[in-house]
């Protein structure tokens, strides 16, 4: 019996060969036996697919190097909701053990749901009546995370367990099949984190003595230590500095240690009823919930621009990228920032499908609901150093996380963090995310089988409504401490410093730096009680409305017609499909605008604009719509029994992130001369009129099926696209009413015409070209032990000419970024050996650098490779032992801005190890 990696290999080859479009996939009831934490890991074993990383694990998959926003995800053919900021689904929430198949369609067909220019990813749950007999399977794996074990009071241990049951019943009412799967995972999600801050600025000045922290203001200015670096052409008057080459500095630097806990529960189920041979009714549901907790402990250099004196700047020729600030000194207050961050995320998907096949007809109807909900809260406190501290930060011998030394300051002594200024500490309670995403959908498909060249005609339609809401910035912050309970501010801070001290949690924080291994830290809950008065103080505000809130409805109506055909040209058989899909989309958006009051002084000929504490929050309504025809054609030619050529031409679209449609308005008012006609608002908003990214696509794939265990394929593809969303200016003329006071008279509403500054579609035609190579081979012909070997590999190379201008202060120094998520190279290689019940497997995945914007500014992820190992032993017919090692090389996730050495973020979660047993009856 063939199982494990070889069974997966054969399944993938057969799926690829039978597909009606260019596709890859794994459809096999052994899929859960393979070494995957989630279906995101499973997807990475499909040629051309890799994932974005989140705390050491694969998360958002990319197809052919194209980021998750250009792909479309379905479960059993139905659109899935998302709890993230855009439409990309978090695949970590779907356990691989509860999935029976994954398909990646790389070209389009008229009856596919629209939305994936890169590809359509479909997850399939079990169809119990298609299974062979009843089955009970389960596994329990213990986990060990070394980075978590390095935390005081932790042992790095956790577990994941699952059980699935599948059966069929032959009754007088027809055949009935059920499948039920449950999974629970309880483990840490360890992470050491360094943040260089996304707010980089260009500077040219070098302080003469930037580490000076004592003296009079004139003395500090004369040393250049009392001011921030500047982008100057000559030294500033009164400042002791020199002007040299440009470097990229950042507002702050943070080192974060954290203790984490993550609990995941999932349940999948299907009920299938076949009352007649030509009638099939099934209901399926998927539920998952993830609770995560992070206790964050951050040491921050808060004034990252103050007193900078560069020691080494990259110039592009000295081994460092141009503008990268490799080593420097400066001075700053230090802060110990504590935070309890809690996230609760749920997913629910329910659908029912009825399939009736009377004679030549196939009629299928489907109704579905998909809901996602995420909340995230933050409880934050801080302590600040008594004085500013001189420091030196150096990447030369620690290229990712810098070595940092502090001048005459013991960063491990809590007494040094006892600044008693009323604004030196804070207590904050924030509900930063409350996001709902609901999708209701229904579809009807009708197909009629024919004889002859056209083998069938298929028509259908679909209607869906997506409702996305987001409430954020529901903050209650105590940023200025006040006397309380008969204690002065200084008494409160001094008391908290003594009462809330705690030991540094980790014994192995970024050990490669060799300098900053620990720092003084405090208990966040203790500080919160000391500053706010109680654990329940600072409740979330009752009115949470804010211009950043989202309330969007997107209604989609689609119809299609498609013909399947088959024939031959000479001795060459061919088959394929041709069709067209019509899509109409309407968007309605509701947002908020905070109240302001305009005060006009005619005598002084000026005006001011300020917040209106007595005003009412205004509700704004915006909308948009679009419609497109999406033709498609696919043809497959059997050049020989072992050789297949596929060609595809289609038009596709990828919808804009739904939160870009927000209607909230930030007025961003100004003050200046003139009367009412001169009042200026630099108002910003979302743009519901944004169109999707759309365009023509052409693909060709040559596939060689040399044996059951052997396939080689080479594909080329081109995409000509228009409409990507950039941070441009799309003025939306709008009239707003604002309370206005003229010359001291009573306030009254007055209308003002404003042009909302909003995201825009790029009107230029952009292109993307690529080549994809893949192959797999089992050495069944080799002698002895070598016959157990097998190899699987893929390589995708993509090139594009998209341009996303940077919007930060570095814009003039940086080239525009390419398509977000686009990696030029994506590669995967697997070597396995299976014999006598033992299966060994090594998989290496590589993805080159790719853009990943943050906060409206360009940022990139460094290229990286990840090595995973697994071993399985079939102890008996029903019991299998399993070992897994994930990210055994401890690869870090690194973000850069302004150059390959200009580090913005580093995340280190370390390797993960699993061991356990699986049973199957």
Query: pLDDT digit string (tens) for 735-747?
Result: 888 888 888 888 8
User: For 775-812, what is the HEC assignment?
Assistant: EEEECCCCCHHHHHEEEEEEEEEEEECCCECCCCCCHH
Percent of the chain with pLDDT over 90: 65
Half-sphere exposure of 496 (CA within 13 A, CB side): 33
Q: Which of 428, 412, 424 is nearest to 538 (CA)?
A: 428
Tell me the two tokens of residue 729.
């200016």
**pLDDT beyond 80 at 676:** no
Alpha-carbon dihedral of residues 404, 406, 410, 414, nearest 10 degrees? -70
pLDDT greater at residue 232 or residue 729: 232
Element (H, E) at 232: none
Measured between its terminal Cα atoms, the distance across the chain in Å is 16
Using the structure block, give the residue that is written with the tokens 């794939």: 701
Query: Which residues contact residue 553 at a Cβ distance below 8 angstroms, ignoring those fewer than 6 apart?
Result: 465, 466, 467, 587, 588, 589
The whole-angstrom separation of Cα 94 and Cα 268 is 10
Element (H, E) at 14: helix 4-18
Q: Which of 445, 440, 582 is nearest to 78 (CA)?
A: 440
Q: What would the DSSP string read from start to end of 274-287? A: EEETTEEEEEEEEE
The whole-angstrom separation of Cα 160 and Cα 138 is 11
Query: What pLDDT, on the 0 to 100 scale, is given for residue 33?
Result: 52
Report the DSSP pairing between strands 389-394 and 361-384: unpaired
Query: What pLDDT, on the 0 to 100 scale, is given for residue 1?
Result: 45
For residue 608, the tally of other CB atoms under 10 A from its CB is: 15
Query: What pLDDT, on the 0 to 100 scale, is given for residue 609?
Result: 87
**pLDDT beyond 60 at 29:** no
Lowest mean pLDDT among 63-72, 278-287, 412-421: 63-72
Query: What pLDDT, on the 0 to 100 scale, is given for residue 512?
Result: 66
Query: What pLDDT, on the 0 to 100 scale, is given for residue 182?
Result: 93
Lowest mean pLDDT among 356-360, 668-672, 769-773: 668-672
The whole-angstrom separation of Cα 424 and Cα 385 is 9
Using the structure block, give the residue that is written with the tokens 């600044």: 419
**pLDDT beyond 80 at 695:** yes
Query: pLDDT digit string (tens) for 475-487?
Result: 999 999 999 989 9
Query: What pLDDT, on the 0 to 100 scale, is given for residue 681?
Result: 83
Q: Which of 689, 871, 701, 719 is nearest to 801 (CA)?
A: 719
The mean pLDDT of 493-519, rounded to a whole number, is 88
Instruction: Give 838's strand partners.
Output: 835, 873
The whole-angstrom separation of Cα 614 and Cα 747 is 11
Q: What CA–CA distances, in Å, run from 301 to 98, 195, 432, 451, 518?
A: 46, 10, 24, 75, 15
Tell me the two tokens of residue 20.
């009606």
Instruction: Give 669's strand partners.
Output: 681
Query: Which residues contact residue 377 at a Cβ distance below 8 angstroms, ignoring those fewer than 6 apart?
Result: 341, 342, 429, 430, 431, 432
The whole-angstrom separation of Cα 184 and Cα 641 is 46
Average pLDDT, the chain: 90
**pLDDT beyond 80 at 393:** yes
Tell me the two tokens of residue 290.
């993830």
Q: pLDDT tier at 867 (50, 70, 90 boundaries)?
A: very high
């Amino acid at each position: 019996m063939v199982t494990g990696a070889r069974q997966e290999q054969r399944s993938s080859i057969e799926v690829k060969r039978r597909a009606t479009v260019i596709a890859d996939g794994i459809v096999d009831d052994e899929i859960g036996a393979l070494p995957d934490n989630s279906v995101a890991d499973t997807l990475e074993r499909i040629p051309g697919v890799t994932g974005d990383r989140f705390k050491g694990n694969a998360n958002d998959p990319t197809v052919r190097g194209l980021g998750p926003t250009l792909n479309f995800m379905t479960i059993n053919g139905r659109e899935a909701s998302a709890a993230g900021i855009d439409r990309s689904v978090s695949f970590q929430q779907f356990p691989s053990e509860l999935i029976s198949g994954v398909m990646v369609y790389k070209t389009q067909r008229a009856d596919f749901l629209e939305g994936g220019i890169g590809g359509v990813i479909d997850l399939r749950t079990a169809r119990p009546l298609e299974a062979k007999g009843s089955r009970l399977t389960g596994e329990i794996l213990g986990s060990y995370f070394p980075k978590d074990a390095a935390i005081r009071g932790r042992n790095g241990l956790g577990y994941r367990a699952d059980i699935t049951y599948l059966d069929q019943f032959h009754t007088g009412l027809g055949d009935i099949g059920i499948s039920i799967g449950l999974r629970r995972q309880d483990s840490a999600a360890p992470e050491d984190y360094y943040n260089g801050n996304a707010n980089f600025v260009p500077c040219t000045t070098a302080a003469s003595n930037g580490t000076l922290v004592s003296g009079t203001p004139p003395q500090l200015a004369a040393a250049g230590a009392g001011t921030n670096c500047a982008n100057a052409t000559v030294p500033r008057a009164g400042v002791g500095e020199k002007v040299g080459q440009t470097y990229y500095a950042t507002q702050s630097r943070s080192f974060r240690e954290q203790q984490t806990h993550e609990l995941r529960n999932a349940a999948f189920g299907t009920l299938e009823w076949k009352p007649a041979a030509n009638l099939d009714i099934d209901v399926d549901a998927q539920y998952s919930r993830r609770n995560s907790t992070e206790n964050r402990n951050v040491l921050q250099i808060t004034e990252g621009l103050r007193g900078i004196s560069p020691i080494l700047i990259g110039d592009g020729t000295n081994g460092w990228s141009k503008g990268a600030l490799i080593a420097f000194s400066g001075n700053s207050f230090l802060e110990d920032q504590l935070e309890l961050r809690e996230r609760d995320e749920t997913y629910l998907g329910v659908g029912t499908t009825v399939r009736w096949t009377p004679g030549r007809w196939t009629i299928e109807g489907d109704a579905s609901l998909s809901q996602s909900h995420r909340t995230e809260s933050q409880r934050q406190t801080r302590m600040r150093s008594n004085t500013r501290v001189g420091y030196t930060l150096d990447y030369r011998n620690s290229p990712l996380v810098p070595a940092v030394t502090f001048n005459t300051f013991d960063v491990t002594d809590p007494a040094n963090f006892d600044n008693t200024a009323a604004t030196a500490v804070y207590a904050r309670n924030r509900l930063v995310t409350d996001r709902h995403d609901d999708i209701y959908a229904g579809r009807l498909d009708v197909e009629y089988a024919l004889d002859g060249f056209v083998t069938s005609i298929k028509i259908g339609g679909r209607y869906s409504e997506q409702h996305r809401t987001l409430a954020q910035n529901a903050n209650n912050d105590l940023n200025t401490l006040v006397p309380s309970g008969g204690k002065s501010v200084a008494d409160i801070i001094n008391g908290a410093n003594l009462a809330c001290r705690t030991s540094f949690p980790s014994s192995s924080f970024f050990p490669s730096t060799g300098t900053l291994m620990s720092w003084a830290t405090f208990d966040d809950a203790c500080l919160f009680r000391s500053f706010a008065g109680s654990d329940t103080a600072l409740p979330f505000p009752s009115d949470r409305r804010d211009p950043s809130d989202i309330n969007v409805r997107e209604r989609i109506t689609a119809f299609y017609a498609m013909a399947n055909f088959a024939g031959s040209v000479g001795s060459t058989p061919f088959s394929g499909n041709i069709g067209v899909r019509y899509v109409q989309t309407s968007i309605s958006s509701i947002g908020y605008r905070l109240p302001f009051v305009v005060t006009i002084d005619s005598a002084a000929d000026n005006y001011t604009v300020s917040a209106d504490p007595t005003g009412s929050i205004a509700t704004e309504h915006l909308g948009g719509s679009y419609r497109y025809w999406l033709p498609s054609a696919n043809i497959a030619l059997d050049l020989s029994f072992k050789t297949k050529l596929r060609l595809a031409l289609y038009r596709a679209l990828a919808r804009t992130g739904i939160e870009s449609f927000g209607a909230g308005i930030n007025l961003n008012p100004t003050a200046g001369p003139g009367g009412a006609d001169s009042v200026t608002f630099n108002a910003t908003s979302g743009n519901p009129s944004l169109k999707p990214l759309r365009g023509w696509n052409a693909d060709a794939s040559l596939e060689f099926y040399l044996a059951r265990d052997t396939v080689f394929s080479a594909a080329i593809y081109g995409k000509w696209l228009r409409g990507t969303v950039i941070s441009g200016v799309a003025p939306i003329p709008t009239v707003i009413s604002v309370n206005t006071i003229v010359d001291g008279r009573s306030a009254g509403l007055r209308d003002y015409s404003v042009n909302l500054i909003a995201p825009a579609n790029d009107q230029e035609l952009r292109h993307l070209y690529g080549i994809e190579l893949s192959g797999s081979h089992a050495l069944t012909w080799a002698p002895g032990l070598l016959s157990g070997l097998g190899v699987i590999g893929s390589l995708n190379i993509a090139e594009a000419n998209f341009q996303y201008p940077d919007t930060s202060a570095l814009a003039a120094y940086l080239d525009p970024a390419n398509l977000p998520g686009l990696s030029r190279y994506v590669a995967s290689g697997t070597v396995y050996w299976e014999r006598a019940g033992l299966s060994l497997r090594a998989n290496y995945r590589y993805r080159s650098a790719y853009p990943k914007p943050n906060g409206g500014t360009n940022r990139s992820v460094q290229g990286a490779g990840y090595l995973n190992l697994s071993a399985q032993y079939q102890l008996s017919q029903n019991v299998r032992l399993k070992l897994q090692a994930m990210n055994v090389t401890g690869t870090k996730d690194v973000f850069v801005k302004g150059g390959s050495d200009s580090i913005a973020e580093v995340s280190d979660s370390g390797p993960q190890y699993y061991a356990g047993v699986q049973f199957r009856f």
